[in-house]
């Protein structure tokens, strides 16, 4: 029994559940989708919160450009390219026998500077927000001051009294570890057993303490959360509940709007934007989807994309039980090569916030992730990690017209030897 219902009752109530439990690919469309203008005004977060986050990132831009020279060209703004895909359509057509209707772009967060994944949005933002708060309280800076000073020894000394803690499947740990260590914080990352060895090695080389857990992501987060309770010098970055992380991700929408305008790509309810977002616990894709609904309203349709073995957000949204149930409750194993998406229980706050705004959610098999990984390399010369391919099957899964954007959420940091293994696996499946 799960929440006092038998599996049979659950499956009767939610007919897609049976296929999900058999790890089949599913598409769930949200019948509770409502007009953005009706929903947004009553939410606890709004446009001003996103603008505040964007302004904070602008204040830090001179510092970022200073300490991470690879961001100098973009003046310290951490942003990724929007790339039109021209050849992958043929591969997808072969794989799914579905013609893609409309233009198709990749939002290449795999190329985000500093940590090479979508986590460079939320994770780095939350570390900066915490550092700013401490510096303001200590009288080290004012909001109109020169933020390059954050690189000074005086700041590092101050931050070295504090410890940042988080639980991660890998990439959040990388973002927080790299940014936190640069500012002078102590950093402790609790890694789930899905986390790749190279991610742990890289963090340790930066002086970050990595604690490995033989359990899954939810346990790693709980461990981290427990450790910080009652310690005023410890700051827990809560991937399951953090509003700050969420807003860091949401800023992406403002940036994307400017990129679409620069490319003369018009978005309207007649030519909607369809965005496909790889989803783990939900903070990253949820924050981006929230930002997109604020910016584009009903002219954008957002879909979450999950592995067939870890469809926690699809399960939570479909049933309305969000974080009250996990994929493991229904006998699913949460084992997937898409390590960034290996999450068995969704964030409750994200699902709840978006339940009337998200258009749907779908699942992809690991086999198809690997095939698309190889095709993306062969046809478009773009190298991604498995998680980042989940959005790519979106246009074929959802079958809508308009402008399609698959959010490719990671890849640049993957060591070549590890990438070659992924690629070989993909080729062997085609
Ligand atoms: C973390 C991650 C995601 C999903 O973000 P969540 O906030 O966990 O939903 C997607 N892709 C990659 C590569 C990630 O690391």
**Shared-domain flag, residues 213 and 316:** no
Q: Is 176 domain-assigned?
A: yes
Whole domain around residue 154: which residue ranges? 117-243
Q: Is 23 domain-assigned?
A: yes
Structural domain ending residue among the three candidates 202, 222, 243: 243
**Shared-domain flag, residues 399 and 386:** yes
Confirm or reject: Cβ of 340 under 6 Å from ligand 1: yes
- Mutation choice for ligand 1 from 245, 279, 302, CB with most ligand atoms inside 8 A: 279
Q: Two tokens at 37?
A: 């203008």
**Shared-domain flag, residues 106 and 248:** yes
- Number of domains observed in the structure of the chain: 2
Structural domain ending residue among the three candidates 194, 214, 243: 243
Confirm or reject: Cβ of 360 under 6 Å from ligand 1: no
Structural domain ending residue among the three candidates 243, 271, 296: 243
H or E element in which residue 408 lies = strand 403-408
**Shared-domain flag, residues 170 and 122:** yes
Confirm or reject: Cβ of 338 under 6 Å from ligand 1: no
Q: Is 49 domain-assigned?
A: no
Q: Is 147 domain-assigned?
A: yes
**Shared-domain flag, residues 264 and 413:** yes
Confirm or reject: Cβ of 284 under 6 Å from ligand 1: yes
For residue 249, give the ligand 1 atom closest to its CA.
7
CB 393 within 8 A of CB 94: no
**Shared-domain flag, residues 368 and 253:** yes
**Shared-domain flag, residues 169 and 214:** yes
Q: Find, among 273, 280, 277, 263, the residue nearest to 295 by Cα.
A: 273
CA 19 to chain centre: 25
- Between the CA of 169 and the centroid of ligand 1 the distance, in Å, is 9
Q: Which residues lie closer than 8 Å to 401 by C-beta, 6 or more apart?
A: 101, 102
**Shared-domain flag, residues 189 and 275:** no
- Between the CA of 278 and the centroid of ligand 1 the distance, in Å, is 6
Confirm or reject: Cβ of 110 under 6 Å from ligand 1: no
**Shared-domain flag, residues 250 and 301:** yes
CB 340 within 8 A of CB 314: no
CB 207 within 8 A of CB 233: no
- Between the CA of 341 and the centroid of ligand 1 the distance, in Å, is 6
Q: What is the pTM of this model?
A: 0.97
Q: Is 62 domain-assigned?
A: no
At 169 the pLDDT is 85
For residue 117, give the ligand 1 atom closest to its CA.
13
Q: Is 327 domain-assigned?
A: yes
pLDDT, one tens digit for every residue, the chain (430 residues): 999 999 999 999 999 999 999 999 999 999 999 999 999 999 999 999 999 999 999 999 999 999 999 999 999 999 999 999 999 999 888 888 888 889 999 999 999 999 999 999 999 999 999 999 999 999 999 999 999 999 999 999 999 999 999 988 889 999 999 999 999 999 999 988 878 899 899 999 999 999 998 878 888 888 888 888 889 999 999 999 999 999 999 999 999 999 999 999 999 999 999 999 999 999 999 999 999 999 999 999 999 999 999 999 999 999 999 999 999 999 999 999 999 999 999 998 999 999 999 999 999 999 999 999 999 999 999 999 999 999 999 999 999 999 999 999 999 999 999 999 999 999 999 9
Q: Is 301 domain-assigned?
A: yes
**Shared-domain flag, residues 37 and 145:** no
H or E element in which residue 161 lies = none
Q: Find, among 83, 117, 77, the residue nearest to 103 by Cα.
A: 83
- Mutation choice for ligand 1 from 246, 409, 422, CB with most ligand atoms inside 8 A: 409
CATH of the domain at 190: 3.40.50.1100
**Shared-domain flag, residues 192 and 320:** no
CB 253 within 8 A of CB 47: no
User: What letter does residue 254 receive in the DSSP assignment?
Assistant: H
At 192 the pLDDT is 84
């Amino acid at each position: 029994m799960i929440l006092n219902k038998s599996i049979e009752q659950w499956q009767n109530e939610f007919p897609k559940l049976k296929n999900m439990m058999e790890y089949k690919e599913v598409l769930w469309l949200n019948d509770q989708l409502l007009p953005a203008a009706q929903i947004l005004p009553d939410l606890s977060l709004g446009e001003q919160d996103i603008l505040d986050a964007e302004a904070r990132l602008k204040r830090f831009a001179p510092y970022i450009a200073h300490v991470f020279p690879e961001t100098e060209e973009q003046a310290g703004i951490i942003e990724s390219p929007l790339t039109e895909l021209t050849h992958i359509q043929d591969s997808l057509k072969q794989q799914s026998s579905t013609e893609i209707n409309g233009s198709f772009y990749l939002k290449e967060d795999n190329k985000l500077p500093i940590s090479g994944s979508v986590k460079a949005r939320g994770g780095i933002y939350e570390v900066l927000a915490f550092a700013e708060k401490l510096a303001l309280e200590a009288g080290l800076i004012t909001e109109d001051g020169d933020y390059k000073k954050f690189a000074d020894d005086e700041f590092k000394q101050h931050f070295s009294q504090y410890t940042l803690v988080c639980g991660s499947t890998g990439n959040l740990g990388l973002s927080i570890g790299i940014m936190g260590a640069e500012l002078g914080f102590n950093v402790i990352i609790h890694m789930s057993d899905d986390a790749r060895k190279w991610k742990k090695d890289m963090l340790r080389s930066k002086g970050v303490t990595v604690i490995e857990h033989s359990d899954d992501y939810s346990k790693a987060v709980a461990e981290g959360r427990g450790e910080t309770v009652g310690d005023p010098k410890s700051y827990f970055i809560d991937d399951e509940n953090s509003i700050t992380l969420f807003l860091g991700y949401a800023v992406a929408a403002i940036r994307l709007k400017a990129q679409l305008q620069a490319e003369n790509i018009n978005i309207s309810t007649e030519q909607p934007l369809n965005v496909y977002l790889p989803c783990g616990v939900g903070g990253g894709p949820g924050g981006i989807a929230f930002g997109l609904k604020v910016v584009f309203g009903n002219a954008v349709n957002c879909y979450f994309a999950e592995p067939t073995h870890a469809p926690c957000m699809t399960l939570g949204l479909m049933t309305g039980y969000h974080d009250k149930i996990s994929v493991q409750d229904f006998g699913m194993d949460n084992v997937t090569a898409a390590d960034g998406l290996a999450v068995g229980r969704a964030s409750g706050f994200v699902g709840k916030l978006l339940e009337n705004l998200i258009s749907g959610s779908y699942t992809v098999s690991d086999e198809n992730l690997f095939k698309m990984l190889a095709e993306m390399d062969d046809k478009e010369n773009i190298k991604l990690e498995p998680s980042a391919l989940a959005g790519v099957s979106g246009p074929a899964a959802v079958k809508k017209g308009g402008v399609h954007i698959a959010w490719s959420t990671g890849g640049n940091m993957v060591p070549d030897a590890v990438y070659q293994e992924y690629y070989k696996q993909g080729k062997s499946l085609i």
